[in-house]
Structure 1
Amino acid sequence: MGTGTQRSFTGASWEKQVGYCRAIRRGDLVWVTGTVSLDDDGQPFAVGDPEGQARRCLDIIAKALAEVGASMSDVVRTRMFVTDIDHWEAFGRAHGDVFRDHPPATTMVEISRFIGPQFLIEIEADACVEAG
């Protein structure tokens, strides 16, 4: 680990196989990798439930941020990749519940698929932790 760099890992098998961490912090900046809806055992969570999957992604992101000394209120940018944009309201409800009082810039983009066909959404987050 380099000077001033913190990393968070969930233990997902993909982290070692692909070579990435859940979150990385360098100085005041934090980047959270694309996060899908997995339960604590690494199995798909809320299969078929767009809002439930989005909420689970955001819970995982919040935990990763906390592990590097940040919080959801520090998030300045999110990206939501979804397989069916028709569920935008369900995804948006989950996002809005978390970020209503401190809204980040965000993007929602429909893509063709994920590694696991059960996943409906993957969320990335960038944060800036203010000094003090």
Structure 2
Amino acid sequence: MSNRINVSSQSEWEGPVGYSRAVRVGQFVWVAGTTAASPDGSAVGGADIGAQAREALKRIVAALAEVGAGPENVVRTRMFVTDISRWEEVGRAHGEVFAEIRPAATMVEVKALISPDLLVEIEVDAIV
């Protein structure tokens, strides 16, 4: 595809696993599951799930910008949390970015993420 743009996550795992932080093809953008993982494997925000969600969303907004999109272009979000009882903390962070945009959103509890320190992972789809 000649109009495909890949955004790198700068992760050491990107090559071996075969993924990109985001991909834009034409007017469509997909941002991969994004966490608050730091290079050393710890989580930005520590045990604060809301802080982790804000960090993930900050990274998502940056990836969108790399392909000429912004939060206003997001039509769908998916949030994966390791403790659904803390949904409001993640929901509030989501609302800080998307309160006026109001994309279709899903939040589900998962058994675990790639590291036990990570409490939330978020992915989005956008149309520019």
Normalised to the residue count of structure 2, the TM-score between the two structures is 0.95
Q: In the TM superposition, what is the alpha-carbon distance from 1:113 to its structure 2 partner? A: 0.3
Structure 1 unaligned spans of 5+: none
Cα RMSD, aligned residues only: 1.0
Distance in structure 1 (CA, Å) of the matches to 2:76 and 2:102:
9
Instruction: Give the letter aligned to residue 120 of structure 1.
Output: L
SS of match in other structure, 1:90: helix
Alignment of 1:116 with 2:110, yes or no, is no
Q: In the TM superposition, what is the alpha-carbon distance from 1:72 to its structure 2 partner? A: 0.8
Count of residue correspondences? 127
Pick closer, same or farther for the CA change 1:42–1:66 going to 2, 3 Å. Answer: farther
SS of match in other structure, 1:13: coil
Q: In the TM superposition, what is the alpha-carbon distance from 1:38 to its structure 2 partner? A: 2.5
Structure 2 unaligned spans of 5+: none
Contact in 2 for aligned 1:12/1:42 (Cα 8 Å): no
Pick closer, same or farther for the CA change 1:57–1:71 going to 2, 3 Å. Answer: same
Q: Find runs of 4+ consecutive structure 1 residues off by over 2 angstroms.
A: 41-44
Distance in structure 2 (CA, Å) of the matches to 1:108 and 1:14:
26
Q: In the TM superposition, what is the alpha-carbon distance from 1:13 to its structure 2 partner? A: 1.5
Q: In the TM superposition, what is the alpha-carbon distance from 1:42 to its structure 2 partner? A: 5.5
Aligned to 1:72: 71
